[in-house]
Amino acid sequence: GNSVTQMEGPVTLSEEAFLTINCTYTATGYPSLFWYVQYPGEGLQLLLKATKADDKGSNKGFEATYRKETTSFHLEKGSVQVSDSAVYFCALSNNAGNMLTFGGGTRLMVKP
Amino acid sequence: DGGITQSPKYLFRKEGQNVTLSCEQNLNHDAMYWYRQDPGQGLRLIYYSQIVNDFQKGDIAEGYSVSREKKESFPLTVTSAQKNPTAFYLCASSIGVYMNTEAFFGQGTRLTVV
């Protein structure tokens, strides 16, 4: 079956620092890949997605590139803000008989 | 605006009582899901439904029940058999269960047993 592995948190950064949250996956077929963000006390919001190899998803300064050769979808942002403090989930879905699969989440804490 | 609505946002239950969490979507999605999230943890799938009048157990279905009488609605009942029900519950929907598409989430219901 499918699986998603994220780096464990928390990740603590100072404002304006560079962010990388690693995500690797195993899957059959050709999955779509997603990053979701969860702010305290709220549901998950889709942050960005990529549907095929070499696609780059981007939103709100975050970006991630679908790397089939390394089965990775790392989340990056050049300059984080305090308001980016949240939990980030990597996920995948495919049409090969497996459901939407989430990683365990990575908590990001940005200090002023 | 299209979306998923969960209610209530906060819910308190006495031990031994059943309680039902509401989830409604107007996205015309066939698939709906219930997840449980414990503090500092990821998501665990409780139940999912691919179509009206059909639903399947997820990884932690014991002590929970669902129904899917309408496409728009997928209520979750937390029964007294659930030994540790205090958690954050998230409802989601997608076009289909086995498709290359994202899920859309509600704002969650925080259930506390008192």
pLDDT band, residue B1 (cuts 50/70/90): low
> Is residue A22 within 8 Å of A7, Cβ to Cβ?
yes
**What is the C-alpha separation between B31 and B95, in angstroms, rounded?**
6
CA distance B39 to chain A (A): 10
The token duo for B76 is: 């979750």
Rounded to 5°, angle at Cα B107 from B103 and A102: 40
The pLDDT of residue A2 is 84
% of residues, chain B, pLDDT over 70: 99
Q: How many CB atoms lie within 10 A of CB A60?
A: 12
Q: Quote the mean pLDDT of chain A.
A: 93
Whether B102 sits inside 8 A of A49 (CB atoms) is yes
Q: Which residues contact residue A69 at a Cβ distance below 8 angstroms, ignoring those fewer than 6 apart? A: none
| φ and ψ at residue B99, rounded to 5 degrees | -125, 160
Which residues of chain A lie closer than 8 angstroms to B99, CB-CB? Answer: 93, 95
- Probe site for chain A from B10, B59, B102, B107 (most A CB atoms < 10 A): B102
The token duo for A43 is: 């549901």
Judge whether A40 is closer than 8 Å to chain B, CB to CB: no
For residue A84, what is the DSSP state? Answer: G
Q: Which residues contact residue B59 at a Cβ distance below 8 angstroms, ignoring those fewer than 6 apart? A: B44, B45, B46
> Edge-to-edge strand order for the sheet containing B64-66?
B4-7, B19-25, B76-78, B64-66
**pLDDT tens digits, B47-80:** 999 999 999 999 999 999 999 999 999 999 999 9
pLDDT band, residue B12 (cuts 50/70/90): very high
- Average pLDDT of the residues in A45-65: 96
Judge whether B97 is closer than 8 Å to chain A, CB to CB: yes
